[in-house]
Structure 1
Amino acid sequence: MSPTRVLIAGGTGCLGSVVANGLHRRGVGVRVLSRGLAPDPGTIDPDVEVVRADVREPASLGSPMEGVDVVVCAVQGFMGPGGVTPQSVDRDGNIHLIEAAERVGADIVLVSVVGASPDSPMELMRAKYAAEERLRSSRPAWTILRPEAYTETWARLIESTAGSSHRPLVFGRGDNPITWVSVADVAALVERAVVDDTLRGRVLEICGPEAVTLTGLAEMIMAQHGWSGRPRHVPRPVLHVMANTVGLLKPDMARQARAALAMDELPTTDDTELRTEFPELPRTPASRVVAALQADRAT
């Protein structure tokens, strides 16, 4: 049975806004939860309901949950304004959402991350795993989605480091193949999980069809811009120093340094099983995402 009202936490973000629009076009009632951050102009359909609440503040979640059938947890605290952290958002914030959904009897679709585990070297993966564990022990019916790193997010991040030299900065060796996934591909799976209750109790991993190293992604960006030369690199020993010295004063920097160290070692994801089950899901190569981002800037 298709839900009549869906709450999307993180609905003003890159993934959440795409999911909100997609569900709205399906005729599903959509309520977007935001902690006050304004979405980019034109990213959310104007007649989608937007309510203000903060997943870090459980008391703020009561009213937004009224009349909700499914809660999509698409928040992230890896980076962003307002002092967010993986612990405060991806762990505690998601747990607050789970507990609020329990009170109203709503199903939950949790957007986690590939590699979520209690002993991961990345804070984000440990925090997501803690939320997954709380969800598994909760009363609501649930679906967990584990996407690979988003192509759009990392392409924009890498491009922002190019500076006047037009040579993007790659943290670490940057030689580990990663099957980056497009936000559009993940959004399609989230939509499917929301409207298809036969997927409850499932953990679904999704990645892209093209394995590309961080250095390769930086080279794609340079090629799209027509920039010459090679990407610059921050060596791993420097990242260790960043994480343990400067990072003590700037936790965001330490978090990014540790993430880069981990990404040099993480195994390459394969989602052949998912793609066989759902052949209709889009499969967007990283090269096409980078080209589309450049085309958007040119218009």
Structure 2
Amino acid sequence: MKHTNVLLAGATGYLGGFLLKVLIERKNQVVAIVRNPNSLQNDHENYLEIKQAQVTQPETLRDICKGIDTVISTVGITRQKDGLTYMDVDYQANMNLLEEAKKADVKHFVYVSAINGDKHRNLKIFEAKEKFVDALKASGLHYTIVRPNGFFSDMKDFLEMAKSGRVYLFGSGHQKFNPIHGDDLARAILDTLDEGNKELTIGGPDVLSLNEISELALKTLNKPIKIVHLPDWSRKLTVWFLRTFTSVKTYGPIEFFLTLMAEDCIAPCFGTHHLEDFYKEVVQNSIEPK
């Protein structure tokens, strides 16, 4: 990837942080959009400019893409706050960025969706993401749509469960997937920046079953292996109950998680980071020094 001027939206998120680090490491000029300028420290003033803007408010984005070659957006919500919906953020906020990119003749727009989003448009979280994917493909800009498997950061949920001494799974637990570390994903995205109009489905180097991930979590915490398998009908009932009696704000992320966890979700393998090492690091960092 040659050096380029990049606008990064979502720089304070899990993946955004790694993208920022690798972009600067590779000597790109980066403009990072943040809502709160104090949320990002600038230790690289030769390469990084931090601009305050709200992607959900188009007036704050005016001319933000001037002089930019590539826009990378990881903007989206998994755990909702501020009363904003998936359509407000995953769709409309990205549309606001896309409009500015088109005005400024940006060459390439990279958007991070999630694995199998095109197959699960019925889920609220994907309905918005895929609506934006359609708009991006029709925009006339060169595009890359990234569809990562689960992030390592999401796998902390298994560690949290394991703290109680047992992990609960729906079904047999044989469902397999290969989550990916943010650093590996950032490098994969930036390695393909010179190629336009492609969809990149990608996962980490290890294909693991839910049982194996649960065992890893319990072992890392030195707990005996106790995995409780709940019948799959209880998963379906949970999804139905949440859709019926709670707001999309509550059920959106759970619906997404429970649907994708019910099937094998294996993406092409990439990277060098292993979940076992990530778990050890998380546990090590959470032990307070005496």
TM over 0.5: yes
1:7-37 Cα distance to aligned partner (Å, 9 max, x none): 1111100101111111112211112112338
Decide whether aligned partners of structure 1 residues 184 and 81 sit closer, same or farther in structure 2, where only a CA change above 3 A counts. Answer: same
Residue 78 (structure 1) aligns with: 78
Superposed displacement of residue 131, structure 1: 1.5
- State which drifts further: 254-263 or 128-137: 254-263
Q: Is the 8 A contact 1:169 1:232 kept in 2?
A: yes
- Distance change in 2, residues 1:46/1:169 (3 Å): farther
Q: Structure 1: give runs of 5+ residues left out of the alignment.
A: 276-281
| Counterpart amino acid of residue 208 in structure 1 | G
1:106-145 residue CA offsets vs partner (Å, 9 max, x unmatched):
1211112221216544333333222211111112222222
1:247-294 CA distances to partner (integer Å, 9 max, x unpaired)? Answer: 54343431233223312443432426xx6xxxxxx3333323323333
- CA–CA separation in structure 1 for the residues paired with 2:250 and 2:268: 31
Give the residue type in structure 1 aligned to 2:64: P
Equivalent pairs counted in the alignment come to: 284
SS across alignment from 1:116:
coil
- Aligned counterparts of 1:45 and 1:123: Cα–Cα separation in 2: 38
Per mean C-alpha deviation after superposition, the further-off stretch among 230-239 and 258-267 is 230-239
Letter in 2 for 1:68: I
Q: CA deviation at 1:186?
A: 0.7
Tell me how far 1:103 sits from its aligned partner: 0.9
Deviation for aligned residue 1:222: 1.5
Find the counterpart in structure 1 of residue 116 from structure 2.
115
| Aligned counterpart in structure 1 of residue 250 of structure 2, from 238, 253, 259 | 253
Aligned twin of 1:185: 184
What secondary structure does 1:65 align onto?
Answer: coil
Alpha carbon RMSD of aligned pairs, Å?
2.8
The amino acid that maps onto 2:254 is A
1:173-195 Cα deviation digits (max 9, x unpaired): 5431011112111100122233x
The match for 1:210 is 206
Query: 1:155 is aligned with what amino acid?
Result: M
Task: Using the TM superposition, name which of 46-55 and 204-213 deviates more.
Answer: 46-55
Identity of aligned residues (%): 21
Tell me if the contact between 1:155 and 1:218 (Cα under 8 Å) persists in the aligned partners.
Answer: no
Which letter maps to 1:52? Q
What corresponds to 1:99 in structure 2? 99
Q: Tell me the distance in 1 between the aligned counterparts of 2:159 and 2:199.
A: 32
Match of 1:278 in 2: none
1:176, 1:244 → 2: CA distance?
21
Amino acid at match of 1:209: P
Q: 1:245 to 1:71 in 2, by over 3 A?
A: same
For residues 156 and 173 of structure 2, the distance between their equivalents in structure 1, rounded to whole angstroms, comes to: 16
Between the aligned partners of 1:83 and 1:3, the Cα distance in structure 2 is: 38
Mapped to 2, the partners of 1:37 and 1:267 lie a distance apart of 40
Range moving further from structure 2, 233-242 or 23-32: 233-242
Unaligned runs of 5+ in 2: none
Residue 257 to residue 145, structure 1, CA distance change in 2 (3 Å): closer
Give 1:285's match in structure 2, choosing from 265, 268, 274. 274
Q: What do residues 47-98 of structure 1 show as CA deviations (whole Å, max 9, x unaligned)? A: 4332222222222222432322211011121224323443222222222221
Q: Distance in 1 between matches of 2:3 and 2:97?
A: 18
The answer to whether the aligner puts 1:34 opposite 2:34 as a matched pair is: yes
| C-alpha distance in 2 between matches for 1:294 and 1:52 | 34
Q: In the alignment, residue 259 of structure 2 is paired with which amino acid?
A: A
After superposition, where does 1:151-166 map in structure 2 within 5 Å? 152-162=152-162, 165-166=164-165
Q: Deviations over 1:174-219 (max 9, x none)?
A: 431011112111100122233xx2x111212111221212332222
Asked if 1 retains the 8 angstrom alpha-carbon contact of 2:166 and 2:225, the reply is: yes
> Per the alignment, do residues 124 and 214 of structure 1 end up closer, same or farther by CA in structure 2, a change over 3 Å counting?
farther
Task: Tell me: CA distance 1:219–1:78, structure 2 relative to 1, closer, same or farther (3 Å).
Answer: same
Please give the secondary structure, in 2, of the residue aligned with 1:134: helix
